[in-house]
Structure 1
Amino acid sequence: MKNIKSMLSCLVATGIISTSCSDLEQFNVNERNITQEQLEVDFQHVGSKYKPIFENIYQYTPAWSYQLQQNLNADVYSGYMTNPRPFVAGANNTTYSLVSGWNNFIWNVPYSNVMNNVDGITKLTEGEFPTLHAIALILKVEAMHRVSDVFGPIVYTSFGDLEKAGIYDSQETAYNAFFSDLDMAVENLMADIDSERFSAFDLAYDGDYSQWVKFANSLRLRLAIRISKVDPAKAKLEGEKALNQSLGVMSANTDGFFVNGSLDHPLATLDNAWADIRMNASMESFLVGYNDGRANAYFDAPTTVSGTVKGIRGGLPLFSKYADELAQKADYVGFSMINDNIHTSKVQLMTAAEVAFLKAEAALRGWSGAGDAQSNYETGIQLSFDQHGASGVNDYISDNASTPANYVDPITPSNNISALSTITIAWDEAASNEVKLEKIITQKWLAMFPEGQEAWSEFRRTGYPKIFPVVSNQSGGLIDTNIQIRRIPFVDSELSTNPEGVAEAVKLLSGPDNGGTRLWWDTGAANF
């Protein structure tokens, strides 16, 4: 259409056609097209940009994209899952021989599909439609704190600025920007809380802005707890702001942040169709040791060995002979699959149970508005059991004897390992804060399944729960087997297109650009 208009303009200018440009517009109208004016009537010019944001916080279709963006890193490093066969001849992310081609997806998917769309929404809504802008800001923080929690420094405050393109923020700067964006979002929503403007585009809360404020407050509390060791004063300030905001944080399972897409969870494809993922031995240790009623809501019974559930040690080594590999693959693939309750669920990004455990830790740290640590802890367990339809919660909460189970590999006995923790379930008010925190984080870890990104982040921050190390560490000494992997190095796509930016970003790290370097909030110090 643009070429036609240009040609006609030239003809007019040379006098070949004697008419005005405005008269010629009738020749350029395709009646089947939707005009910009029609799009703006119902905000479709803005609203169409939200769906790809929701669907790419992690990309749940196609399933292989999710597999590379999250499953073959955070889901595995969290101790939730592992692969039952040695991808890339056993030298891969799961054995700390990090595959750059895989890890590009952790960076590229949110930048291409989240940040670009948020930037577009901001240009269309900032100042004019503040509540629509607010939702974009909340989604931006939800997506990009995950990216920062993988790499550390990220491109955030300079994104979309042509003069500052590719400049990385330190993780501290990025987190401060997250809090500022949440400030603006909550302020904008509270000013027009009853508006239904977003309802047609909302894949989480049906346009209910009060629920979005609760989510924003809960997200702020998560981020505040995340920095509680490295910047306790800022953490307390932001945490109390979340806890004491008038609409509060998530408290019921209906408050959880789930993406209501039309497809099954991508784990259904990875697990059922491809047999690429199975239960991790660490999950078996806790679920079996605690006689946890959620075990069979999370996982199926194994088909090749006995047991209620059966997991696999993470980081399996390369098998010595191809024939042995085929035999072992068949046996390990028969270990516990993820249950259809998870396969058919909405994509889970934050639950009320997680928030209850955040409040429990906030109470330990003395933050106002947090309530009582024990009450929050037990509420978190109750919410999780209710969410998954599990029974026996009262006996579970009062169990002061059960501890994580030792792991026995019926195929490869050399993989056997004793439980690393003796932590029990029942709250003990006389225990130290460190013991109480281990209980809180262990139960939060169990409740957040299958959201591996947040579970891995909390493991790195606190050292809890005490999950088993990999069997085979092929990092060449860059990653300590017992400390386990701390981050993902900057990806090839950035190294090739933004080498100067990456070079400056490396200077913002506490060490070299490898998987053994701790992030800003990952201090390695005692929790209390």
Structure 2
Amino acid sequence: MKRFKIASALALSAIVLASSCKKFDDLGTNPKQASPEQVEVEYFLNNAIIGAQMDPHIGERAFVLYWKVASHQMLENTLNVGEDDDDWNKDYFRYISGWLNHVNTAIQVADDKKTNGTAWPHNDNMKQVARIWRAYLMSEMADNYGPIPVNGFQGTNPDFADVKTVYYHILAELKDASAKLDLNVPTPENIKAYDAAYSFSWAKWQKYANSLRLRLAMRLSQVDAPKAKAEFEDAVTKPLLTAMGDAFQVQEKSGWNDLSGVMSRPWSTLMLSATVKNLYTGLGGIKSADQLTASYAPYIKPANYAGLRLLDHFSTKTNEPYAGYWLDGLPNMIDPRGYLTFPPAGDFNNPDFAKLNNWSSTLKRLTDGTNTVRTLESAFTWNGAAGGDWGVPGSKNLWVFTSGGSPRLALKFRNDSNKRLFFAPWETYFLIAEAAVRGWTVPLTGEDAYTKGITSSFEYWGVSSKLPAYLASTNYNNDGTSVSWSHVTEPPATYAMDYVDGYTAATGSVNIKYPVNTLYKNGTVKNDLLTKIITQKYIAQMPWLPLEAWSDHRRLGLPFIETPVVENTLNNLPALTQANFMTPTVKCFPQRLRYPSSLINANAKGYEQAMTALGNGATDAITTPLWWAQK
């Protein structure tokens, strides 16, 4: 009998061992030497899709501690202060290389079946689906590390290509694969279970491919505008992912496996960050009293109240606008998605409160180094903090970085019951809105696309009743951005707020400065159309798409993300100092992951190619910008 040879070694650097396919285990056959009728494209494609959902080991390291921290979707200190871990980098490199190995094998199997006459009628469509998924995986890998092989993951050490070459290749692959999908080919029932996202609905895969092409074309907007425009304007004329029923999402399952919730580890606190707090607070002008039951009323603070002023314990060495203050209650107005994403601290009767990792410790002490000078009751408060080195103030502050005192991500995202989103309809609309603002030819006006994006997100969160008032709101959030499309009036430089001295109980008034975002238009605007779009996109992508949020910030400097606290020098972020934290540059924020030492050891030639491809004598550093990012 003819035997079919399957490449199972990692092509990129020989650091990945092949994963056996479960189907072969069930058959009791050798996965490296199986007959053609036993080898199907969907087996390998299934492994590539399911694996990329991330088991708890790699999910905690890459998705949570890297992407969510880099995008400031949560509070922690890793990439945000220039720190990574070589073992984590090895793990992620190994995992994603394995997923690419699986999807390349799927394409190889499809080609061989066509050649040897054993192909099913849907064989060519399966190949196109595999090409689409490979395009996503390549973009994920390149957006983390930078240069990667274009024709790698096939059994030998390949050459590394620069990010421009990688992106041009991915965009061409998406265009061609989408066009070659035959929507009239029926999908056999017996293969649908091997596609956890779409059950091999060719129409849905085509929409995903076209919207993914929009995403990746827009990635080039700042560095290669003609290419970005041409790709975007072509893709936007095709069928797009514009309904929740077409979203790329995969059902999570309990246990310790590839489908376990990517944010499910109980020891991860996933606390509210200052970035998220400032984006949500005040945005849309919807009062907390109109979102919560009457039992919360005693905790809701006036709109002009900043909180307790605690300068000895809350560092001011960051450009976070409320540095030095702690809100002893709930904000007067907040985006309707805020409390649904991060329930208030201490809200124990809320069924969506995550009772994980010291969840009940809401009393937090402030000390003079030895004795308690004040105790903060954190229950029914909504505070986020900036990461960084808090130095002496932090050593006396038993609230910051401790579990129980801050809002934490809602339970529905942590209990293995949700669907992990890779692409949702709101992103398509926000991409079209951005393209419209850039003057590109698109089928909707910028305002229409922007409105549809917000509407889609509100439907997902079940808060559509708040939509009319929200869309009309001219209220500024803490960053100086409003919702209304037609309201582009810039906020004043400062605004008056009342406070209470946290040590003496004396009342006072202070002029709070809106933050100056020096990464975007040199800090001259806070409320233009692009800032509105990216603000809404960031919020809509919570909590599932931190890599996209990080990529937008690297590309545009939007939304506003505060600098880490620098009470002491951050050794791995030397560009950020006590002299410039109010006017940071891109060197003050993470830009990529370093290549793992395992690559250097296994493929020294490839590593040197990657370093050259990073460009301009770049070093393998977290602060080295990628080709498409701001410089």
TM-score by length of 2: 0.67
Letter in 1 for 2:158: G
Tell me the C-alpha RMSD between the 2 structures: 3.4
- Give the Cα separation in 2 of the matches to 1:104 and 1:437: 37
Residue 259 of structure 1 and its aligned partner are, at CA, apart by 1.6
Q: Say which of 421, 437, 441 aligns to 1:368.
A: 441
Alignment partner, residue 56 of structure 1: 51
Q: Say which of 68, 91, 105 aligns to 1:105.
A: 91
Alignment partner, residue 597 of structure 2: 492
Bigger proportion of residues as helix: 1
2:42 maps to 1:47: yes
Q: Is the 8 A contact 1:485 1:515 kept in 2?
A: yes
Q: Is the 8 A contact 2:197 2:250 kept in 1?
A: yes
Residue 308 of structure 1 and its aligned partner are, at CA, apart by 5.3
Alignment partner, residue 394 of structure 1: 468
Letter in 2 for 1:376: A
Deviations 1:84-116 (A, max 9, x none): xx7xxxxx434213322222233221102x111
Letter in 2 for 1:78: S
Q: Secondary structure at the match of 1:143?
A: helix
- Give the Cα separation in 2 of the matches to 1:115 and 1:294: 35
Bigger proportion of residues as strand: 2
Query: What are the ranges of 5 or more consecutive residues in structure 1 without an aligned counterpart?
Result: 1-29, 87-91, 423-430
Q: Is the 8 A contact 2:387 2:564 kept in 1?
A: yes
Q: Is the 8 A contact 1:360 1:376 kept in 2?
A: yes
Alignment partner, residue 478 of structure 2: 404
Map 1:116-515 onto structure 2 (within 5 A): 116-126=101-111, 128=114, 129-160=123-154, 162=156, 165-190=157-182, 192-196=184-188, 198-245=191-238, 248-263=239-254, 266-270=261-265, 273-290=266-283, 291-303=334-346, 304=362, 305-307=378-380, 309-317=382-390, 327-328=398-399, 331-343=402-414, 344-390=417-463, 391-404=465-478, 419-420=514-515, 435-450=528-543, 451-472=545-566, 474-480=570-576, 482=584, 483=586, 484-510=589-615, 511-515=618-622
Q: Secondary structure at the match of 2:614?
A: coil
- Name the CA shift for 1:499/1:411 in 2 (closer, same or farther; >3 Å): farther
- Give the Cα separation in 2 of the matches to 1:418 and 1:321: 23
Deviations 1:367-423 (A, max 9, x none): 323410001001111100111112412211111122226999x999xxxx965269x
Residue 48 of structure 1 and its aligned partner are, at CA, apart by 2.1
- Name the CA shift for 1:51/1:475 in 2 (closer, same or farther; >3 Å): farther
Letter in 2 for 1:284: K
Alignment partner, residue 76 of structure 1: 69
Q: Secondary structure at the match of 1:349?
A: strand
- Give the Cα separation in 1 of the matches to 2:83 and 2:193: 45
Residue 158 of structure 1 and its aligned partner are, at CA, apart by 3.4
Deviations 1:206-260 (A, max 9, x none): 2211011000000000001110121112111211221112xx2111122211122
Alignment partner, residue 16 of structure 1: none
- Give the Cα separation in 2 of the matches to 1:309 and 1:186: 45
Deviations 1:25-53 (A, max 9, x none): xxxxx997479999866x76332222331
Residue 82 of structure 1 and its aligned partner are, at CA, apart by 1.8
- Give the Cα separation in 1 of the matches to 2:502 and 2:250: 39
- Give the Cα separation in 2 of the matches to 1:45 and 1:98: 39
Q: Is the 8 A contact 1:288 1:405 kept in 2?
A: no
Q: Secondary structure at the match of 2:196?
A: coil
Q: Is the 8 A contact 1:289 1:405 kept in 2?
A: no
Q: Is the 8 A contact 2:67 2:550 kept in 1?
A: yes
Letter in 2 for 1:522: A
- Give the Cα separation in 2 of the matches to 1:309 and 1:496: 47
Letter in 2 for 1:493: S
- Give the Cα separation in 1 of the matches to 2:340 and 2:619: 41
- Give the Cα separation in 2 of the matches to 1:373 and 1:102: 41
Q: Secondary structure at the match of 2:249?
A: strand
Q: Is the 8 A contact 1:295 1:309 kept in 2?
A: no
Q: Is the 8 A contact 2:479 2:515 kept in 1?
A: no
Query: What are the ranges of 5 or more consecutive residues in structure 2 without an aligned counterpart?
Result: 1-24, 115-122, 284-333, 347-361, 363-377, 481-496, 504-511, 518-523
Q: Secondary structure at the match of 2:565?
A: coil
How many residue pairs are counted as aligned between the two chains? Answer: 465
- Name the CA shift for 1:79/1:433 in 2 (closer, same or farther; >3 Å): closer
Alignment partner, residue 508 of structure 2: none
Letter in 2 for 1:180: A
Q: Is the 8 A contact 2:381 2:406 kept in 1?
A: no
Q: Secondary structure at the match of 1:119?
A: helix
